[in-house]
A and B are shown apart, each in its own frame.
Chain A
């Protein structure tokens, strides 16, 4: 216990420190974790004894990452990107493998080793590149979309690569991500193991498709969040165990499970629950990589590392650039694409680790390769800066007239689709806007989905859910939930994290109106106000008032009330109940006087305001000069 606590302390402290520094410097978290590993391993010699089981544990991070990648796959988007995904991604992977393998053989490595290097180099860093593109708002640009498609293809290509390494190494069974598969099937004849393997995949797909929804919905209706989290983890761990049992890659299984669940209304909730575990375990994985770096090897081979890093990035960029041009990703977008993807990625570590375990590479070669990958990842921000420079140069030379990279387009988020939100939703849809809908009632989400609306289960008050719905780049947020305090929190959070977003919010009453104003809402709709005014208007009409007269009276009433609301704002202290705030009461009485007088029967201001317009000049009194005889209403 003491030992575990001590390890936890060291790992967490190193991780927190190194990641903060690395993020601040703009290198991203992956580099930070590797640096933390270096601190723990070579520098302080802490990890030497107990890193074995941690390493196994950390590989869950890879499984979860593939699960999340699977979840992210939106069939429509994949279809839209199909050319780039298969053509650009496929040619990039094949081209880079070819070039690097040739280079490896030329440098005197065996063909097997060179092929492994090719695999490693063909992959770019999904984690770093996507994060950077997102931060710069370039993900939806031409270059960003092309990068995304290629990264997606690479992530998929990892799976056959993992399966290939044992074949290249020439030793049988593949327990790729190293979970020590129980190899249940070794005693069975070939056909039986094939059937069992297929059956296992079938079980994953069928269970994810048919079982998960009712189970998740039941849990969601219970309202126990931690049980939902436990269920989400259970899905991933269950897949891992099943896949290991039949000797398949757990990563592949998790990816499949993710794809099947991608279309589920629980997608965002699952993402949010798995994400922190994935992040930490992946961090742990990177730390174990860093911990294995041997400083002596680094010192002995620094010139090799520098040359190889440079060579790797140049070769990757040289493969990417003409491909981009061929696929009509040209100009600034092409440079962003080619330079942004020129580093090696985190999956390279996995491949190298397995290659080392299989005896394909010597420990020294693995260490040097890890260093090369790491340095190329560390240099990613430099690559992005370089592409930016080139773009500026291109624009100066005026070769590109149009703005090539449009940042994210505006989107609409609708929080809450109850009685209020569904009207908003229907009108937005009717006018061609497709909001992302969030609601915390699974049955409501279910119903809305039946009408083909993109809706997700989850508590809109949770910042992470808002974030994953695209808050940072959304143009408009409509808060239509009925819980006043939560609505205020959402508005405040949204305003903080996206200063430019338009926020329309449903207010419970006048006081809530002021709280929302304080929280940064742009437009506030009192939930009962318009409906009540309608009813009052119908009452007047039923009593015999002319419909147009009713319309005028409603308009003046609403104007007066709204103006009063605005004038009252400075008298309001949101922390004191309205009735016990003397200023508020006094002001309310004063401003409401016009309307209230009318109600009490003293028809002073209101009637005059309504009657203004279409008044005939009063016969006999001083009015328009007779000679003019201007025709005002008679």
Chain B
């Protein structure tokens, strides 16, 4: 399987977990890694090129930090421009049909913040609903999101664990070793569940 990672982060500092995840993903063979903010710092997205990249891959991974319950601005811009009528949807569209999509997100809030009784009043997958429906409308196979909670409050060990597990997830997708049937039974999954979800 050919894997495309679309990474969107407007403030890539050395200390950021997302930056470390990105560095690890970038080094993988058989995975196309795209830093959207580096390629389109002025938000003028090359739609043809992006569509070509989508066509050339089987698994589309969106990697981003959750900002105000949504994607960073450029990733929204990407959706608005790239998922065109006649390409991604519509009678002549559906060119993305059958491709797998996966959101790999980090959140500032903890798992309990993202619960019915927490400050955010919903579980995190609910906030991914626009992305899910977008993928579904385009006929894509939407997988439950891969989530890292409390990204700003992690101890070093958990941070490193997540950073190491991310390339493992991507290679598993690449080599078709992820047990998709089991993944689909979960609302979300994280680095601690990853080992159990792999096939040998």
Contact = CB atoms under 8 A, between A and B. Distances in A.
A537 to B, nearest CB: 9
Contacts of A551: 41-42
A311 to B, nearest CB: 71
B181 interface: no
Contact of B118 (A614, A617, A629, A633): A629
Interface residues of B, number: 29
A617 B114 CA distance: 17
A631 interface: yes
Interface string A83-94: 000000000000
A207 to B, nearest CB: 53
A514 to B, nearest CB: 30
Interface stretch (A107-115, A476-484, A541-549, A583-591): A541-549
A613 interface: yes
Contacts of B67: 614, 631-633
Given A629-B119, A634-B18, A548 B152 contact: no
A633 B72 CA distance: 9
B169 interface: no
B41 A631 contact: no
Contact of B152 (A613, A614, A619): A619
B160 to A, nearest CB: 16
Chain B binding site: helix, strand, loop or mixed by DSSP?
loop
A29 to B, nearest CB: 56
A546 B152 contact: no
Q: Which of B69, B110, B114, B153 has the most CB of A within 10 A?
A: B153
A536 to B, nearest CB: 14
A634 B12 contact: no
B12 A630 contact: no
B10 A629 contact: no
Contacts of A617: 108, 152
A628 B12 CA distance: 25
Interface size class of A (residues with CB under 8 A): 20 to 34
A553 to B, nearest CB: 11
B25 to A, nearest CB: 16
B41 A634 contact: no
A631 B66 contact: yes
Nearest to A620: B153
Contact of A630 (B18, B37, B119): B119
Nearest to A618: B152
B110 to A, nearest CB: 6
B27 interface: no
5 contacts: A548-B10, A613-B11, A627-B119, A631-B67, A634-B152
Interface of B: 10-12, 16-18, 37-39, 41-42, 65-69, 106-110, 113-114, 118-120, 151-153
Given A548-B38, A631-B66, A633-B10, 11 more contacts: A546-B37, A547-B38, A547-B41, A615-B11, A625-B119, A629-B119, A630-B108, A631-B67, A631-B69, A631-B107, A634-B16
Going nearest first, the 6 A-B pairs with the smallest beta carbon separation are A629-B113, A629-B109, A634-B151, A614-B11, A548-B37, A551-B41
